[in-house]
């Protein structure tokens, strides 16, 4: 079940909101946990058992870690983390590890080709690990209610594609939260924004992107190849940030405040700034649970650079069991290291040049992210810099006036245009007593447009579902 489906929008979500409205806090926690498990089971079937195993595992070890003596704390925490990572390693990386080891000759592909990657396993595994580490560090008490911890790990708005939420960010809402008409309205508008990003922008761009990246890559004219880079950069941003907006909006409706995951990353002027704005919950997780424990930047420049390499290697690997993802992560790490060594952010260059630099680096790295193999990526890079005008222009047939309009809208709203306009005319806008009504009408029309798009589109899962 995906957020952008009629089953979710017109049956599951309204029913859950309606029933939850009449429940006490304890009953609401139980109900939302069951609804979350049903939501996951509707798409993953019996793999929901893995989610239950994760809940019981982290709940049990959280209590053990809190009650144990210091030496035992380390042991229990280590065992608990290894258990989480073992689950992730088997389902996500087993085939990759076998293919890249001497075992490849001993194990037939049939023995591991049937392993199904559970949707969202990277997200709920990382949430479980962060909870255990925070209990070990005594930053949070161990949760005494398996229902509350189960809801934290499985809460359906952010279960399958984040944001990656820390227990301490939701703990207060698990014990006390308030739902209101104002929060429901605010959350609904945020959800509609996210839905529009997905079905109007990302899914429209996906048609052209798929055509470009599936074509004969060696026959792509340079213009078409760069068009593919531009459109995929926009597609993945609107697809993923759209999901995050929907998750945050749903959280508000149910009384939870889920942290932001994006802050206009494409307006960045360095790779370092980009990672402060892109997938904020993931970069924060690696900072708190990998980079800082490794020593951060406190042990000299050489160790700092090593720590950055480790973090971005793991960041790439987290995204998928493929060398392309590893190279994608290491490429970002390389440029971040070069920026650190050159004090790039302090160099006096026109902001436009720094901005172009960031867009080119990120855009070129998305090629590794989008294509299945390094060989395909090399062919695509060759097309990007061949300066050829001959080849397969078929994908441009799909660039209808409507698609061009969507591209323009996507480029404009990748920057905080509306907030700047609102700030510029803030005094005048506050005087308009009917401005709230105009907002509601605008969002209602946007929701209708989303429904029209959904009625004409086929099933289109979110890009980050596969992670």
Q: Which residues are catalytic?
A: 319
Is 417 exposed, middle or buried, given 0-12, 13-18 or 19+ CB atoms closer than 10 A?
exposed
Distance CA 30, CA 24 (A): 10
The answer to whether residues 250 and 191 touch, using CB atoms and an 8 Å cutoff, is: yes
The answer to whether residues 262 and 323 touch, using CB atoms and an 8 Å cutoff, is: no
Closest CA to 3 of 118, 119, 115, 116: 119
Cβ neighbours around 182 below 10 Å, total: 9
The answer to whether residues 140 and 134 touch, using CB atoms and an 8 Å cutoff, is: yes
- Phi and psi, residue 196, nearest 5°: -65, -40
Residue 13 CA, distance from chain mean position: 21
- Phi and psi, residue 458, nearest 5°: -95, 180
The answer to whether residues 317 and 310 touch, using CB atoms and an 8 Å cutoff, is: no
Give the single-character DSSP code of 201.
I
The answer to whether residues 111 and 102 touch, using CB atoms and an 8 Å cutoff, is: no
Distance CA 345, CA 338 (A): 11
Give the contacts of 108 (CB within 8 A, at least 6 positions apart). none
The answer to whether residues 264 and 410 touch, using CB atoms and an 8 Å cutoff, is: no
Residue 163: cis peptide before it, omega within 30 degrees of 0: yes
The answer to whether residues 8 and 38 touch, using CB atoms and an 8 Å cutoff, is: no
Distance CA 113, CA 411 (A): 40
């Amino acid at each position: 079940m995906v957020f952008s489906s009629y089953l979710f929008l017109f049956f599951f979500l309204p029913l859950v909101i309606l029933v939850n409205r009449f429940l006490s806090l304890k009953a609401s926690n139980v109900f939302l946990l069951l609804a979350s498990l049903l939501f996951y089971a509707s798409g993953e079937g019996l793999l929901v058992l893995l989610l239950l195993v994760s809940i019981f595992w982290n709940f049990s070890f959280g209590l053990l870690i809190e009650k144990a003596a210091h030496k035992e704390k380390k042991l229990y925490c280590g065992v608990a983390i290894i258990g989480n990572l073992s689950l992730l390693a088997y389902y996500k990386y087993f085939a990759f590890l076998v293919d890249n080891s001497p075992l490849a000759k001993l194990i037939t592909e049939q023995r591991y080709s049937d392993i199904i990657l559970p949707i969202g396993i990277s997200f709920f595994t990382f949430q479980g690990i962060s909870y255990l580490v925070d209990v070990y560090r005594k930053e949070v008490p161990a949760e005494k209610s398996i229902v509350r911890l189960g809801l934290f790990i499985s809460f359906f708005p952010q279960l399958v594609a984040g944001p990656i939420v820390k227990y301490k960010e939701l703990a207060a809402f698990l014990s006390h939260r308030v739902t209101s008409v104002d929060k429901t309205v605010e959350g609904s508008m945020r959800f509609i924004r996210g839905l529009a990003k997905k079905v109007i922008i990302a899914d429209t761009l996906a048609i052209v992107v798929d055509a470009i990246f599936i074509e004969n890559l060696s026959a792509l004219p340079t213009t078409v190849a760069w068009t593919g880079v531009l459109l995929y950069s926009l597609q993945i941003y609107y697809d993923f940030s759209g999901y995050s907006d929907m998750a945050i909006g749903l959280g508000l409706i149910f009384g939870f405040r889920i942290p932001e995951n994006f802050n206009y990353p494409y307006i960045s002027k360095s790779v370092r700034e980009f990672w402060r704005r892109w997938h904020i919950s993931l970069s924060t997780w690696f900072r708190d649970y990998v980079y800082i424990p490794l020593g951060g930047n406190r042990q000299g420049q050489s160790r700092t650079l090593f720590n950055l390499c480790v973090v971005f290697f793991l960041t790439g690997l987290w995204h998928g069991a493929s060398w392309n993802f590893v190279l994608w992560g290491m490429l970002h790490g390389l440029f971040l290291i070069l920026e650190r060594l050159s004090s790039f952010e302090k160099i006096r260059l026109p902001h436009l040049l720094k901005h172009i630099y960031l867009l080119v680096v990120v855009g070129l790295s998305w090629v590794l992210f989008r294509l299945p193999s390094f060989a395909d990526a090399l062919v695509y890079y060759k097309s990007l810099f061949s300066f050829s005008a001959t080849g397969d222009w078929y994908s441009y047939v799909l660039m209808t006036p409507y698609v061009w309009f969507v591209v323009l809208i996507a480029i404009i709203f990748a920057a905080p245009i509306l907030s700047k306009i609102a700030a510029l005319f803030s005094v005048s806008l506050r005087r308009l007593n009917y401005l709230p009504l105009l907002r509601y009408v605008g969002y209602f029309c946007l929701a209708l447009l989303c429904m029209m798009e959904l009625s004409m589109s086929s099933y289109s899962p979110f890009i980050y579902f596969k992670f």
